[in-house]
A and B are shown apart, each in its own frame.
Chain A
Amino acid sequence: MLEIKDLHASVGGRKVLDGISLSVPAGEVHAIMGPNGSGKSTLSYVLAGRPGYEVTGGSVLFRGQDLLALAPEERAQAGLFLGFQYPVEIPGVNNVYLLKAALNAARKHRGLPEVDAFEFLQLVRAKMKLMQMDEAFLSRGVNEGFSGGEKKRNEILQMLVLEPALALLDETDSGLDIDALKVVAQGVNTLRAPDRSIVLVTHYQRLLDHIRPDRVHVLARGRILRSGGPELALELEARGYDWLLAEAAA
């Protein structure tokens, strides 16, 4: 699904990713953990193609094609979804309107006709029920006046409607209370499928209590320091990151 080889990237001239290699096969859930400022969010933004994040070396294959050659909207249309850490507000633009435009852009890319308005509403309502969201959300502006938790739920709702091949979730668990975390985790779990991969960027083990990852990677100083099974996350929870950093420095 996703094949990252020796990826280097810088932001504003500052080197942030220093040779990342990572392979995420279809059907797997991977967690990327690491201390603050380790390059986790940068990795998400580089993969999504955010302007200002400059790739200085390496390659990324997404479903066999050169991801880095695609424009941001083409990456999205090809099935890459980024759940933002801080979803932006777009005043005056209805949630439902953005969602429909996004779905239709993806369908157009696959050569499918635009979604019927009635079917679309049915689809969205079903997903909203799953996310325990009130229907008033639909007519509100995109993330306008949403609480932190509401914004994160809205990200997952969009993901459920768009059904991407690869979902990158950047600290989707931060700022959520326990109940909201469960709802978000449940949303992510319903999306697990043999032809889909999910990458969770997170600080905490607690999200992984609800979404069990196949692999855990530790990212620090722009590199993957260690990879392992779910037990690695537990070890990190107990011991922190310092011992890994010390080992890497030795």
Chain B
Amino acid sequence: MSDDAQLQDLVGRGYQHGFVTDIESESLPPGLDEDGVGGIYNFVTKRGECRGRNSRISWTQVETGSAITWKYPSCVLRGENSVGEFYSVALANHCQQADTGTKMIHIGPNTRSTIVSKGISAGRGQNTYRGLVKILPSAQGARNFTQCDSLLMGGRCGAHTFPYVEVRNPSATVEHEASTSRISEDQLFYCLQRGIPEEDAVNMIVNGFCKSVFKELPMEFAVEAQNLLAVSLEGAVG
């Protein structure tokens, strides 16, 4: 990318429109059965390079529909002051496996990157964040902030986090925050006591968990993403 260029990419794999509306009898991902046989495999390589000064690449993804996802949209930050961003919501329900993350490769001076990853695991789903933040010797004053949160529902799912950090320049600042939590009984009971049915309550809490990613999405897509999440969570409670 050249000087001052901006790229915003929305990537997502989930149910299509028609599927969302007619989902009552079929809440499994397309082609995937209850034991994890079949389904779509989503193996993606995406990489963007910020060559110009002040250029910016922002990846935003919502992953809900594939049986197996391996996906790591990445940024090479070469231009001075260039910015890389990665915002991700990944949900693994039933027997789905989502292994996703990003690489932020800082080459130019004062390059900055932000990673926000929200992983939700339900059923027998396995969710993995796998990411690399690499600061090269030339990246004077580079900064990274990573936030990586996992939410677990039920007792048979898993959340895994593999953050790799390689810093070769002493002036760099790299921050990593991570959390793993369950949907709390207290939160759920609070919503129930206000008369909100359990499935709606779970959706509400999960959407709240994902808010810092959803607010990066354009309105239409944010609404779509919320619906997608609601559908993908069906049957995850109780």
Which residues of A are interface residues toward B (Cβ below 8 A)? 48-52, 71-73, 75-77, 81-82, 84, 87-88, 90-93, 97-98, 101-102, 105-106, 109, 141-142, 158, 162
Expressed in whole angstroms, the minimum distance between the Cβ of A13 and any Cβ of chain B is 18
With a cutoff of 8 Å between Cβ atoms, the chain B residues found around residue A106 in the complex are: 195
Give the contacting residue for B207; candidates A51, A76, A84, A92; CB below 8 A.
Answer: A92
CB contacts between A and B, total, < 8 Å = 76
Expressed in whole angstroms, the minimum distance between the Cβ of A249 and any Cβ of chain B is 35
Does B157 interact with chain A (Cβ within 8 Å)? no
Q: Is the CB–CB distance between B208 and A93 below 8 Å?
A: yes
Task: Take A92-B211, A98-B204, A141-B208 as given contacts and tell me if A87 and B190 are in contact as well, using a CB distance cutoff of 8 Å.
Answer: yes
Task: Tell me the residues in window 9-47 of chain B with beta carbons closer than 8 Å to chain A beta carbons.
Answer: none
Q: Which of B65-73, B138-146, B181-189 contacts A (4 or more CB under 8 A)?
A: B181-189
Q: Is the CB–CB distance between A105 and B194 below 8 Å?
A: yes
29 A-B residue contacts at CB 8 Å? A49-B192, A51-B189, A72-B189, A73-B193, A73-B196, A73-B197, A73-B198, A75-B193, A77-B195, A88-B184, A88-B187, A90-B187, A90-B190, A91-B208, A92-B207, A92-B209, A92-B212, A93-B204, A98-B194, A101-B204, A105-B194, A105-B195, A105-B196, A106-B195, A109-B195, A141-B208, A142-B190, A142-B208, A158-B194
Expressed in whole angstroms, the minimum distance between the Cβ of A51 and any Cβ of chain B is 7
Give the contacting residue for A51; candidates B184, B185, B195, B205; CB below 8 A.
Answer: B185
Does B210 interact with chain A (Cβ within 8 Å)? yes
Which residues of B are interface residues toward A (Cβ below 8 A)? 184-187, 189-198, 200, 204-205, 207-212
With a cutoff of 8 Å between Cβ atoms, the chain A residues found around residue B195 in the complex are: 73, 76-77, 102, 105-106, 109, 162
| In the bound complex, CA of A109 to CA of B211 (Å) | 29
With a cutoff of 8 Å between Cβ atoms, the chain A residues found around residue B204 in the complex are: 90, 93, 97-98, 101
With a cutoff of 8 Å between Cβ atoms, the chain A residues found around residue B192 in the complex are: 49, 71-73, 76
Supply 17 further A-B pairs (C-beta < 8 A) apart from A49-B192, A93-B204: A51-B189, A73-B193, A76-B192, A76-B193, A77-B195, A87-B190, A88-B186, A88-B187, A90-B187, A92-B208, A92-B209, A92-B210, A97-B204, A101-B196, A105-B195, A109-B195, A162-B195
Expressed in whole angstroms, the minimum distance between the Cβ of B186 and any Cβ of chain A is 4
| In the bound complex, CA of A93 to CA of B201 (Å) | 10
Task: Take A105-B196, A106-B195 as given contacts and tell me if A88 and B190 are in contact as well, using a CB distance cutoff of 8 Å.
Answer: yes
Closest 6 CB pairs of A and B: A92-B208, A92-B211, A76-B195, A93-B208, A102-B194, A105-B195
Give the contacting residue for B196; candidates A84, A92, A102; CB below 8 A.
Answer: A102
With a cutoff of 8 Å between Cβ atoms, the chain A residues found around residue B190 in the complex are: 84, 87-88, 90, 142
With a cutoff of 8 Å between Cβ atoms, the chain B residues found around residue A91 in the complex are: 208-209, 211
Q: Which A-chain residue is minimally distant from B214 (CB atoms)? A: A92
With a cutoff of 8 Å between Cβ atoms, the chain A residues found around residue B187 in the complex are: 88, 90
With a cutoff of 8 Å between Cβ atoms, the chain A residues found around residue B194 in the complex are: 76, 98, 101-102, 105, 158, 162
Q: Is the CB–CB distance between A101 and B200 below 8 Å?
A: yes
With a cutoff of 8 Å between Cβ atoms, the chain A residues found around residue B212 in the complex are: 92
Q: Is the CB–CB distance between B193 and A72 below 8 Å?
A: yes
Count chain A CB atoms within 10 A of each CB in B187, B191, B205, B207 and give the residue with the most: B191
Expressed in whole angstroms, the minimum distance between the Cβ of A163 and any Cβ of chain B is 12
| In the bound complex, CA of A102 to CA of B187 (Å) | 14
With a cutoff of 8 Å between Cβ atoms, the chain B residues found around residue A90 in the complex are: 187, 190-191, 204-205, 208
